[in-house]
Amino acid sequence: MTESETIVVVGCHWTVNSTEYPTISEPFSVSPYCSKRPPSDTSVNYASPWAGAHYRPVPGSSPQALREAGQALRTYEFMKRVAVDEPASGVQFIKGIEYLEAPPPEYLDEQSVRNSYSHLDGLRYLSAKERPAGVVWGVEYDTYVVNSPVYCAYMLRKFILKGGSMRKYTLASLKEAFSLASNVRNRGQTCLVRNLSSATITRQNSDGSWSFCIPRPLDGGTIIGGTKQPHNWDPHPSPEIRATLLANAAKWFPFTPESEGKFDVIHDIVGRRPAREGGMRLEVEKVGSEQFIVHAYGAGGRGFEISRGVAEDTTALMLDHGFLHPKAAL
């Protein structure tokens, strides 16, 4: 790549904020950055600032599961450094707890669980006495939570200070370069409350639904969730869903005693998580004689959890194809 050529990143979300950081930190020739929405904007279609966000492993043996596990591990190590070195980033490590009432087979496979959880600091399986009634599988570990709007803005600022730039455009297409046939929009609804929680807790219910609470660092409240509704395009929060989320949270999660089972709601959140059947798309597509698109999209609800791993894989892909090259060392 010559000095006159430009890398344009379309989209300003977890991928960009975590992908551009390693790219521009290395001695590469990289310049302007293009986005439809900066981190200060909010939209039902721009889900990053709405995210909880936290990390919990997802066991599995499929190629997608194994790929994401590797990306998640690298992101976990990256977030440990960020939490210590950059406390203003909105990343903090706290206790993570999982309670499963009807664990899928992969949670009962010792090797599968070992592959997914062994990298976690403070990992400990919960005994029957420590698990709430009805819960048959439980685990505790150290994990990170993210105040997502703070993190997005913080990482974008670092990118700009290191020489990047941002421009706002609305793009109709990328030369209509890719088909969206395999893409799925998963509607998620959560609720942001002022109540405090000392841990991030995920509970799988016997009916297959999931509940979680995610404290946001830097006094950002707590996210109560959540739903996953494929192909649901409704942008409006459902009062019935909010009532169910908060009722479950009052029963299961350890909010401070003064809450008395009641919640001080800040607002409801509805976001569309772009997912993709078979996992996210991470590949290069040639669209002209000297024009290429590097795809990195479709992570669904795991954006922050695998962000750094995707960042490194994207950078490696661009290096392999000669789109990036290190500057000569001085």
The CATH code of the domain that includes 50 is 3.30.9.10
C-alpha closest to that of 116 among 62, 49, 54: 62
Q: What residues are paired with 184 via a beta bridge? A: 275
Residue 62 included in any domain: yes
**3-state class of 164 per DSSP?**
coil
Q: Is the dihedral of CA 253, 254, 257, 259 positive or negative?
A: negative
Residue 312 included in any domain: yes
pLDDT at position 206 is 86
Summarize the confidence of residues 221-230 as an average pLDDT: 87
Residue 5 included in any domain: no
Of 31-35, 154-158, 168-172, 289-293, the poorest mean pLDDT is in: 31-35
> CA end-to-end span of the chain, whole Å?
19
Rounded to whole angstroms, the Cα distance separating 195 from 262 reads 9
Amino acid at position 286, single letter: K
> What is the average pLDDT value for the chain, to the nearest integer?
81
**19 and 315 Cβ atoms separated by less than 8 Å:** yes
Decide if pLDDT at 46 tops 80.
no
Rounded to whole angstroms, the Cα distance separating 167 from 78 reads 27
Could you give the number of structural domains in the chain?
Answer: 1
Residue 31 included in any domain: yes
Residue 200 included in any domain: yes
**3-state class of 323 per DSSP?**
coil
Summarize the confidence of residues 143-158 as an average pLDDT: 89
Domain that holds residue 146: 14-320
Residue 9 included in any domain: no
**284 and 294 Cβ atoms separated by less than 8 Å:** yes
Decide if pLDDT at 21 tops 60.
no
Residue 3 included in any domain: no
Rounded to whole angstroms, the Cα distance separating 191 from 138 reads 25
pLDDT at position 143 is 98
**50 and 269 Cβ atoms separated by less than 8 Å:** yes
Q: Cα–Cα–Cα angle for 79, 215, 76, nearest 5°?
A: 15
Rounded to whole angstroms, the Cα distance separating 7 from 322 reads 12
C-alpha closest to that of 196 among 218, 165, 177, 176: 218
Q: What residues are paired with 288 via a beta bridge? A: 291
Rounded to whole angstroms, the Cα distance separating 252 from 29 reads 51
Of 118-127, 144-153, 287-296, the poorest mean pLDDT is in: 287-296
Residue 325 included in any domain: no
The first and second tokens of residue 298, run together, are 């479709």
C-alpha closest to that of 304 among 89, 62, 8: 89
**23 and 315 Cβ atoms separated by less than 8 Å:** yes
Summarize the confidence of residues 62-83 as an average pLDDT: 93
Q: Is the dihedral of CA 12, 145, 238, 58 positive or negative?
A: positive
Q: Which residue has the higher pLDDT, 167 or 298?
A: 298
Rounded to whole angstroms, the Cα distance separating 73 from 151 reads 19
**292 and 286 Cβ atoms separated by less than 8 Å:** yes
pLDDT digits (tens, 9 = 90+) for 159-211: 777 777 776 666 666 553 334 445 566 788 999 999 989 899 999 988 888 89
DSSP string, 165-209: -EEE---S-STT-S--TTEEEEEEEEEEES--BSEEEEEE-TTS-
Summarize the confidence of residues 294-321 as an average pLDDT: 85
pLDDT at position 28 is 47
Decide if pLDDT at 45 tops 80.
no
**124 and 140 Cβ atoms separated by less than 8 Å:** yes
pLDDT at position 212 is 94
**215 and 197 Cβ atoms separated by less than 8 Å:** yes
